[in-house]
Amino acid sequence: MTTATTDVRDNLTQADAEARAARVRHCDYTLDLQLTRGAETYRGVASLRFDAAGAGDLFLDFRGKTIELLEVNGSKVEPRWNGFRLWLPGEALAASNTVRVVYENEYDHEGDGFHQFKDPEDGEEYLYSNFEPYESHRLFPQFDQPDIKGTYALSVTAPAEWVVLHNSRAASVSDADGSKRWEFEQTKPFSTYLFALVVGPYHEARDRHGDIDIGLFCRKSLAKHLDTGELFELTKQGLTFFSDFFDFPYPFGKYDQVFVPEFNAGAMENVGLVTHNEYMVFRDPPTDNQRRGRAETLLHEMAHMWFGDLVTMRWWNDLWLNESFATYMSYLCLEKATRFTTGWQDFAVSIKNWAYRQDQLVTTHPIAGQVADTDQTFLNFDGITYGKGASVLKQLVAAIGADGFREGMRHYFRTHAYGNATLAQFLESLEKGSGADLQDWARLWLETPSLNTIGSRWEADGDRITSFTLTQAAPDEYPTIRPHTLEVGLVRDLDGKLEVTVLPASIRDTEAELPEARGLPAPDLVFPNYNDHGYAKIALDPASIAFIRGNMERIDDDLLRLQLWASLWNMVRDQQLKSTDFLALVRTKMVLETMPEAVEAVTNNAIAAIGRYVPDEWRDREAHDFAQAAWAALKAASSNDLQIIWARALIATASVAEDLDLIGRLADGAESVPGFTVDQDMRWNIAVKHVAYGVAGAAARVQAESERDPSDRGVRARLRAETAVPDAAAKAAAWEKVLGEGYGSLALTEAAMMGFNWVEQRDLLAPYVEGFFDKVTEVFRNRDKEFASYFYRFMAPSYLVERDIYERGEQLVAAVGDELPVLVRMAREANDDLLRAIRCREFAAS
C-alpha cells in the first residue's frame, strides 16, 4: 500500500501534456467503484488499455488516498507516486499496454472532484463529480488532458436505494449482497474532464425526444420545486435546433440533467449528463428573467455537446472558443427556438456588460492567448472568455453573414467529430463556409486586448443632414483600430412620436463617412450601435445625452432603451455622469419602466452606485431615497415580476431605521402589497440584514425563519446571520473558524464568509483589515483555489473605498510578485475597481 504525502502542486503544463499526447494513443478505461452509505472513502479498480510510442517513463495523473496495487502488463510494480503523478516505468511498457490500479480515495467537499453532500432536511447522502479543467484524476488514474480522449466502461456497486448516473446508459442493474451493481455501456471517446458520475437517492423524471432518452434529476427534498414541464420543453427545443443547425444528430444517445447541491459553477457540460447548480430549481416564485437565465444556461451546456464534447479543444488556451461559442449559440437558440425571443436583449445587458467591464480592467488580456498550465486555466473563466468572445462572434456573424457561419460550423463538425481541433481549424472551417478571409479579422479581434469607442460627428443645414462621419478611437495603452460592422440608429422626435431610421455602416479606420445619411432629416438622438451587433463603447454626443435624460421613457424600442441605460451607466463609471445624477434619473424614470430586463439591470446598477460610487457621507441619504422610490414602485408595479424585482431592490438598499423597519413589517405581514408575497429568500435577506444592523428582535427573526426553512439554504442563511452579528467575539470566532477547520464544506464556509463584512460595522471590523492582508498570501499558497478566491471575494475589506486600502493592495501585489498569479490577478482587479470607485466618489462630490 502506498500513501500519498506531498507538498508539490498538482498542476499540468502544456509542455508535459504535448509530450504525453505525442506518445499515447487509443485509451480504453475500465473502472469498477464500490460505494457505501455514510462512508468517508470509496474503493476503485481502474484498468487502462492504451498504445504507447517512444521510450522512457510515462505518468498517469491520480490524486488519491492510497494505492493498494499497481500492475503494468500483468506484472506488479512498486508505485512511484507523489500523490498526484503515478509513474509507469519505461522498461515495463510495450507498444500495447494494460495498467491496473487498485486504490482507495476520500470524498471531496469543495464542489470539485467527487463531492459528497448530506441533506440537512432528510439526512440523505448525494454524490456527484465535477472535473473541469483538471480534477478528473481525483476519481481514478488516467491521462487527464483534453487531447487524450478515451472510452469508458464503468461499473458501480452502490446502496440499493440509490440511482447511479453516468455519461452512457446503464446496460444492466443487478442485486449484489443487498446492494445494486450497475454496469454501463461503453462510452464513445471523449476527454477525461467530461467524465461524470452522479449517485444518490435522486428524484427522477423521464421523457423522450425522438430516439433520445431525456432525464431530469434533483434531490428528493427539492422534488416539489422541480418544474419538469418547462425544462423538458426547452431540452427538446434545443436538441432539435442544434441538430438541425449543425446538421449533425445529437451524438451521445441519452441526455440527462441533474441539479446538484453545493455546486461551484452554474453548470457543467459532462457528456450526456449535465450537472446544474441548484439555484435553477426555483424554491421561490421566479421572475421570467430568471427563467430565461436558466434556459440560457441549459442551452449553453447543450451546445457544448457538439462544440466542446464532440469536438474538443486540444489544450486550455482554446477554452475561450469553447465558452464563447456555447454562449453565442445559446442566445441564438433562445431567439430562434424558444419562447424567450428577446434573448439578445439579455445578452446586451448581461454578457456584453460583463465583457466591457472586464475589458477595461488593468488585467484585460487578448481573447486568444497562452495558457501555460492547468492552474492558469482557472484565471480564464472570466468576462473575456465568455462575454467578449461571444460578443466578438456576434460581430463576426454580422460581418460574414448567418449562412456562411452555419455552413462553416457544419464543415467543422463533419471534419473533426470525436477528435480535437484548434482555433486555426475553427477559422479554416468558417472560411470554407463563408468564403471570407478571416486572418486579419482574427489578428485584430482575438490577439489584442481592450475595446474601441465608436462615436459620430454630423452637420446639418436647416433640418437636413449634410455630412455624417462615424469615428473610432482606442485607448493609448492598446491602440488597435478594428473593423466593425454596425447599424446606426437615427432617432427623431416627430410631434410627440419617436421615429428611428436605421442605416447599415462599417468602419475600419478612425473615421468612416456615411453617405447614406446625407439629406436625411436631422436627428435628435444618434446611436451608432443600433441592434447591438458591435462590440465597442459608444460615445453619445451632448445633444443625444440631453435628449435621453429628458425622454428615456418615450423610447419604445426595448433593446435601444436598454442600450441607452447601459451607456449612461458606462458614463457613470467613466466619471462623465455623476452617480447622484444617475440615481436621480433612475428614481424618476425607472419607476415608469415596464420591461423587467431594464428594471432589473438598472436597479442593480443603482444598488452598485449606492454602495461604491456615492461618497460615504451621502450614502444613507441616497440609499433611503432609492429605497423609498423602490417601495413606491413596488406598490405601483403592473406585474408580479416587477413587484419581485422592486422588492429585492428595496431589501438590498434598506439601511436607515425607517427602511429597515419597513422591510421587517413586510416580512411580518404588517405591511403588504396586493398580489405580492415576500418569498423565503427575501425573508432570509431581511433577517440577516436585521442582525447586521442590530435591529431589535433580529435573533428571534432568524430563529423563526430557521423553523420555516430547515433546508440546506436555511442552514447557509443561518451561518450568514451568525457571522453578521455586530459583536467583537462573534467576529473573532468567525474569523478563526473560516481560516481554521471551516464549516463542513466549502459552500458552508462561503456562506459564513458572506455574512462577515458590513460597511456599517467598520469600527468593529477594523482588526480584520490588516488581518486580511496579513493572511491572504498564506491562504493562496496553502489552500485550494476555490477557497482562496472566495476568501478574497468576501473577506477583503472592499466596503472601504479609501486610498489607504488602495496603497495596501499595491503593496500586496508588489510583495507577491510572480509566485501566485491567481492572487495577483484578483488583487490588481480589486484595486482597479477601488480606484475607479474613489474617482467616481470624488467626481460626484465635485
| Catalytic option among 132, 278, 301, 593 | 301
**What three-state secondary structure class fits 343?**
helix
Is residue 671 annotated as part of the catalytic site, yes or no? no
Identify any residues that bridge with 561 across adjacent strands, giving them in sequence order. none
Taken in order 18, 22, 23, 27, is the CA torsion positive or negative? positive
Q: Which is nearer to Zn ion, 384 or 721 (CB)?
A: 384
How far apart are CB 137 and Zn ion at their closest, in Å?
A: 21
The answer, yes or no, to whether the previous bond of 797 is cis (omega within 30 of 0) is: no
Q: Cα separations (Å) of 648 from 317, 657, 679, 686, 718? A: 39, 18, 10, 10, 19
How far apart are CB 345 and Zn ion at their closest, in Å?
A: 21
Question: Quick check: 334 and 299 in contact, CB under 8 A?
Answer: yes
Question: Quick check: 327 and 300 in contact, CB under 8 A?
Answer: yes
Q: Which is nearer to Zn ion, 268 or 691 (CB)?
A: 268
How far apart are CB 327 and Zn ion at their closest, in Å?
A: 7
Q: Which is nearer to Zn ion, 326 or 514 (CB)?
A: 326
Residue that is written with C-alpha cell 454580422 in the block: 398
Q: Torsion over CA of 147, 151, 152 and 153, rounded to 10 degrees?
A: -170
Reported as half-sphere exposure (CB side, CA atoms, 13 A), residue 821 has a value of 11
How far apart are CB 169 and Zn ion at their closest, in Å?
A: 24
Q: Cα separations (Å) of 608 from 25, 593, 594, 752? A: 52, 19, 21, 22
Q: Which is nearer to Zn ion, 278 or 323 (CB)?
A: 323
Set of cell numbers at residue 141: 488514474
Burial class (CB within 10 angstroms; exposed 0-12, middle 13-18, buried 19+) of 720: buried
How far apart are CB 390 and Zn ion at their closest, in Å?
A: 10
Cα-to-chain-centroid distance, residue 33: 32
How far apart are CB 326 and Zn ion at their closest, in Å?
A: 5
CA geometry: angle 652, 653, 656, nearest 5 deg: 130
How far apart are CB 266 and Zn ion at their closest, in Å?
A: 8
- What count of residues does the chain have? 846
Q: Which is nearer to Zn ion, 323 or 373 (CB)?
A: 323
Q: How far apart are CA 121 and CA 116, in angstroms?
A: 15
Residue whose C-alpha is closest to residue 502's, from 492, 490, 513: 490
**Pairing of β 254-260 and β 273-277:** parallel
Q: Which is nearer to Zn ion, 409 or 520 (CB)?
A: 409
Q: Which is nearer to Zn ion, 46 or 326 (CB)?
A: 326
How far apart are CB 323 and Zn ion at their closest, in Å?
A: 5
Q: Which is nearer to Zn ion, 326 or 393 (CB)?
A: 326
Show Cβ contacts of residue 573 under 8 Å, excluding neighbours closer than 6 positions: 613, 836, 840
Q: Torsion over CA of 23, 24, 26 and 29, rounded to 10 degrees?
A: 170
How far apart are CB 382 and Zn ion at their closest, in Å?
A: 13
Show Cβ contacts of residue 559 under 8 Å, excluding neighbours closer than 6 positions: 342, 344, 345, 348, 531, 532
Q: Which is nearer to Zn ion, 381 or 618 (CB)?
A: 381
DSSP track, 691-758: HHTT-TTHHHHHHHHHHH--SHHHHHHHHHHHHH-S-HHHHHHHHHHHHTT-SSSHHHHHHHHHTT--
Identify any residues that bridge with 256 across adjacent strands, giving them in sequence order. 215, 273
Show Cβ contacts of residue 166 under 8 Å, excluding neighbours closer than 6 positions: 152, 154, 156, 182, 184, 187, 196, 197, 198, 273
Phi, psi (deg, nearest 5) at residue 457: -140, 125
Q: Which is nearer to Zn ion, 326 or 649 (CB)?
A: 326
Residue ranges in contact with Zn ion by CB under 5 A: 323, 326
Burial class (CB within 10 angstroms; exposed 0-12, middle 13-18, buried 19+) of 76: exposed
Cα-to-chain-centroid distance, residue 430: 27
Q: What is the DSSP letter of 191?
A: -
How far apart are CB 296 and Zn ion at their closest, in Å?
A: 11
Q: Which amino acid is at 541?
A: D
Q: Which is nearer to Zn ion, 152 or 320 (CB)?
A: 320
Indicate the residue whose CB is closest to Zn ion. Answer: 326
Count of C-beta atoms within a 10 Å radius of residue 395: 21
Question: Quick check: 722 and 688 in contact, CB under 8 A?
Answer: no
Q: Which is nearer to Zn ion, 326 or 430 (CB)?
A: 326
Q: Which amino acid is at 249?
A: P
Residues forming the active site? 301
